[in-house]
Amino acid sequence: MTLKTPLDMIRWNADGLVPVIAQDHADGCVLMVAWMNREALARTLEIGEAVYWSRSRARLWHKGESSGHVQVVHDLRLDCDRDVILLKVEQKGGIACHTGRRHCFYHQYRDGEWVEVDPVLKDPAAIYGEEAPSHGR
Amino acid sequence: MTLKTPLDMIRWNADGLVPVIAQDHADGCVLMVAWMNREALARTLEIGEAVYWSRSRARLWHKGESSGHVQVVHDLRLDCDRDVILLKVEQKGGIACHTGRRHCFYHQYRDGEWVEVDPVLKDPAAIYGEEAPSHGR
């Protein structure tokens, strides 16, 4: 008999991943969505900062490893279907998005089109140097 | 030449779906995550209430169609990678989860296990009658 671990409770998808929502613990702003595999979640629990699985780079991604914009985990939640994780975090530097914005959801639907409504707080080139990512995950 | 519509801007996955976060527009509570296809999003835009694609039932799912707990859309956002939608909604009835809770993220990670920390506000049998769903989506 094998005892189930908390990680076994999660319904990982066919690729062994679950989507993860990062939300500001203080004001509830939804910052971003990324993915975790078992190893990423185990590492997140170990260090208390968000570690995702980068699908594009196919490796663990300690959020903030390049930018310094780490996410300190205050609360970790799992939904009723056990296939989505919600992290309530303190976003260091106040910038979660690779575009230099506070959060990733800056396209707003208005009158039939997507409009960029949230400001860039810092030039990505200044955040990442020459290694500015073309996308976040 | 074909003009791109706002729905063409979205990077639908291989199944033609995107994950959608529903968030309370007033206090920022993350209520649930579900999925939309093009038809679900078009219908959402048309009626101003959340319409998802139910993967388990393989049909459009007008949230609240059984329970009356519809979600009135106040703001519709798309993320930087254009593959996640964020809906800011007014949750009618104050219950988003099929378990009768306000939101779906009621499992909290504590001392190595998942603990149910949020109360059931209404018995699902009272919400759905005999057609209580075994899961939300």
Q: Is residue A12 part of a domain?
A: no
Which positions in chain B touch A75 (Cβ < 8 Å)? 108
The 10s digit of each residue's pLDDT in A60-104 is 999 999 889 999 999 999 999 999 999 999 999 999 999 999 999
Tokens of B39: 């038809």
Comparing CA positions, the residue from B20, B97, B98 lying closest to residue A33 is B20
The 10s digit of each residue's pLDDT in B33-86 is 999 999 999 999 999 999 999 999 999 999 999 889 999 999 999 999 999 999
Q: How far from chain centre, in Å, is Cα B84?
A: 12
Q: Which residue in this structure is represented by tokens 């989860």?
A: B97
The B-side interface with A (CB below 8 A) comprises: 6, 9, 19, 21, 23, 27-30, 32-33, 45, 75-82, 84, 86, 97-99, 101, 104-109, 112-114, 135-137
Which stretches of B15-128 are DSSP H helices? Answer: 38-47, 124-128
Shortest Cα distance, chain A CAs vs residue B80, angstroms: 5
Q: What is the dihedral of CA A63, A67, A68, A71, to 10 degrees?
A: -30
Comparing CA positions, the residue from A69, A70, A78, A73 lying closest to residue A89 is A73
Question: pLDDT band at residue A128, thresholds of 50, 70 and 90?
Answer: confident
Q: Is residue B64 part of a domain?
A: yes
What is the ipTM for the molecules in this complex?
A: 0.93
Which positions in chain B touch A96 (Cβ < 8 Å)? none
The 10s digit of each residue's pLDDT in B3-19 is 678 899 999 999 999 99
pLDDT of residue B1: 53
Domains in chain B, number: 1
Query: By residue range, what is the domain housing residue B47?
Result: 18-126
The CATH number of the domain holding residue B44 is 3.10.20.810
Shortest Cα distance, chain B CAs vs residue A97, angstroms: 8
Among A122-136, B91-105, B117-131, the minimum mean pLDDT is found in A122-136
Which H or E element spans position B78? strand B71-78
pLDDT of residue B73: 98
Question: pLDDT band at residue B129, thresholds of 50, 70 and 90?
Answer: confident
Does the pLDDT at position A39 exceed 70?
yes
Q: Is residue A45 part of a domain?
A: yes
Q: Is residue B26 part of a domain?
A: yes
pLDDT of residue B6: 87
